[in-house]
Amino acid sequence: MPRILIIDSDPQTTSWLSGALEEFGFEAETLSDRAAGATRLTRGDIDLVIAELPTTEQDTRGFVQGLRSNNAGTRVILSSAFGTVEDAVEAMRSGASDYLSKPFSWEQVQIAVERCLERVQLESENKALKAALDDRLRFSNLVANNAKMQAIFKTVNAVAATRTTVLLTGESGTGKTLLARAIHSASQRRDEPFIEVNCGALPESLLESELFGHAKGAFTGAVRDREGKFAAADKGTIFLDEIGTSSPGFQVKLLRVLQDRIITRVGDSKNIEIDVRVILATNIDLQKAVEEGSFREDLFYRINVVPLEMPPLRDRTGDIGLLAEHFLRRFCDETGKQIHSFTQAAMHSLMACPWPGNVRQLENVVERAVVLCEGDTIDSEDLPTDLRGPLPHEITPESLVAGDSHLLPLKQALEAPEKLLIERALQHHGGNRQATASTLGINRSTLFNKMRKFDLL
């Protein structure tokens, strides 16, 4: 029960106010002079002080700080009978939480007290949340309290030391890449290379030489021997992302590597033995792909040794607060801003959002909010107007123009069609960046930067 101390020289005010507060369920104490009030505060159990600013007091700041220094964390609402607007402003500047000009109504007091205590509660929840962000809820850079996620961490701990192949499934943005890195960091291979390859982004021929390397003269343009990613990952870990859409030819070769741990460079006959831990990821349903014939069944069984399914964020709403807090702290560190928490309204919006883009989308929303936020608390107005709207990747240029529900800032709204156009051009050219860049009329490095920005690499 919040305990409120009233310091006021007018006995009528104190008795009326304490009666009303008690009736409302607060514990109220009254004192008529400031020195006694200051002493009382040193006991440290007062949540809020409603103090009359003495008419003789010139130094409002000193007055408020004097009260607060006796009980760190206590909030102060100042009142004054002679108050002007300037006094009110000065009171707020001095660290008071609110200002009431006498005579005040019960309603005014109630609003001020509730606002103030909500703030106190938020801060203590925030502290609790911070304390909760301890190692128990962390696995490398992953934060999670959700039972399924904790089970995943447990499995990872159990298999980290082995060379067992791990298959990560789950929607885009659920943390597959982050987990792959975490597995590597948890293993004895942590000081060896971690090599990441997006298998969906390259056409079969390129992917093959990218992964296995090629011998000089293997094809036009192969002017020298080139080491592939598998060889580069020797003793370490290779992370093959977007494995679900790889070509049949590539699947055969991958199966061989996984079975024999031997690679052959393109245009070469020599077998090279490698010691690599393979982690694969896909956001498609491989079982279904097998049934439909687009994914080899034997390869599926070979890689489905330790399957870990990352739950979508909407199925772990309990983690939303934890993640939002984690990102808030990270972006505050990065930008030097001092924002300590979210308002309850903002947190409600975050909890209610279905997060089709999962943790990645939440991360972006928090980053944007940190940029926009001008105070020390993130409020609903710092969040996108339509958190429940479709995700950028679901917006087609048609829907963007036809609908009126996608009230996003222009820059953000234009990113969705831009990403789509780049994706389509890349698909059209089988992943060839040079051709894609020239079709789009941009240079290769611009294309590369955009691909990186849109996570198309």
Ligand X SMILES: Nc1ncnc2c1ncn2[C@@H]1O[C@H](COP(=O)(O)OP(=O)(O)O)[C@@H](O)[C@H]1O
Find the helix or strand (DSSP H, E) in which 4 lies.
Answer: strand 3-7
Cβ of 84: how many Cβ atoms within 10 Å? Answer: 10
Q: Which of 437, 438, 329 is nearest to 448 (CA)?
A: 437
Q: Which of 296, 257, 65 is nearest to 78 (CA)?
A: 65
Residue nearest to ligand X (CB): 175
Q: Which of 106, 109, 55 is nearest to 77 (CA)?
A: 109
Is position 311 an interface residue for ligand X (rule: CB under 6 A)?
Answer: no
Find the helix or strand (DSSP H, E) in which 100 lies.
Answer: strand 98-101
- For residues 109 and 178, which CB has a smaller minimum distance to ligand X in the complex? 178
- For residues 31 and 152, which CB has a smaller minimum distance to ligand X in the complex? 152
According to CB under 5 A, which one of 177, 282, 283, 358 is a site residue for Mg ion? 177
- Side-chain-side CA neighbours of 43 within 13 Å: the count stands at 9
Is position 37 an interface residue for ligand X (rule: CB under 6 A)?
Answer: no
* Binding residues among 18-77 for Mg ion as defined by CB under 5 A: none
Distances (CA, A) of 20 to 6, 25, 93, 267: 12, 9, 28, 88
Residue nearest to Mg ion (CB): 177
Report the partner that residue 70 touches, choosing among Mg ion, ligand X, none (CB closer than 5 to 8 A by kind).
none
CA distance linking residue 57 with residue 69, whole number of Å: 18
Q: Residue type at 70?
A: N
According to CB under 6 A, which one of 34, 75, 176, 450 is a site residue for ligand X? 176
Contact between 319 and 313 (Cβ < 8 Å): yes
According to CB under 6 A, which one of 46, 178, 197, 346 is a site residue for ligand X? 178
Is position 67 an interface residue for ligand X (rule: CB under 6 A)?
Answer: no
Is position 177 an interface residue for ligand X (rule: CB under 6 A)?
Answer: yes
Contact between 10 and 53 (Cβ < 8 Å): no
Which two tokens mark 26? 């607060």
CA distance linking residue 159 with residue 166, whole number of Å: 9
Q: Interior CA angle at 215 toward 212 and 217, to 5°?
A: 135
Is position 325 an interface residue for ligand X (rule: CB under 6 A)?
Answer: no
Query: Smallest gap, in angstroms, from Cβ of residue 277 to Mg ion?
Result: 17
- For residues 172 and 432, which CB has a smaller minimum distance to ligand X in the complex? 172
- For residues 68 and 316, which CB has a smaller minimum distance to ligand X in the complex? 316
Is position 143 an interface residue for ligand X (rule: CB under 6 A)?
Answer: yes
Q: Which residue stretch of 155-163, 168-176, 227-235, 336-344 sits at the interface with ligand X (rule: CB under 6 A)?
A: 168-176
Contact between 77 and 50 (Cβ < 8 Å): yes
* Binding residues among 330-359 for ligand X as defined by CB under 6 A: 359
According to CB under 6 A, which one of 34, 316, 360, 406 is a site residue for ligand X? 360
- For residues 37 and 170, which CB has a smaller minimum distance to ligand X in the complex? 170
Is position 450 an interface residue for ligand X (rule: CB under 6 A)?
Answer: no
Is position 142 an interface residue for ligand X (rule: CB under 6 A)?
Answer: yes
Contact between 214 and 265 (Cβ < 8 Å): yes
Q: Which residue stretch of 48-56, 174-182, 198-206, 222-230 sits at the interface with ligand X (rule: CB under 6 A)?
A: 174-182
According to CB under 6 A, which one of 174, 198, 209, 343 is a site residue for ligand X? 174
According to CB under 6 A, which one of 144, 263, 266, 339 is a site residue for ligand X? 144
CA distance linking residue 244 with residue 170, whole number of Å: 12
Is position 173 an interface residue for ligand X (rule: CB under 6 A)?
Answer: yes
Is position 79 an interface residue for ligand X (rule: CB under 6 A)?
Answer: no
Query: Smallest gap, in angstroms, from Cβ of residue 153 to ligand X?
Result: 10
Distances (CA, A) of 18 to 7, 23, 392: 11, 8, 54
Query: Smallest gap, in angstroms, from Cβ of residue 176 to Mg ion?
Result: 5
SS3 assignment, position 232: helix
Residues contacting 284, CB < 8 A, separation 6+: 244, 245
Site size with ligand X, rule: CB under 6 A: 17
Is position 283 an interface residue for Mg ion (rule: CB under 5 A)?
Answer: no
Residues contacting 414, CB < 8 A, separation 6+: none
Query: Smallest gap, in angstroms, from Cβ of residue 426 to Mg ion?
Result: 17
- For residues 77 and 359, which CB has a smaller minimum distance to ligand X in the complex? 359
Binding site for Mg ion (CB under 5 A): 176-177
> Applying CB under 6 A, which residues contact ligand X?
141-144, 170, 172-178, 323, 326, 359-360, 363
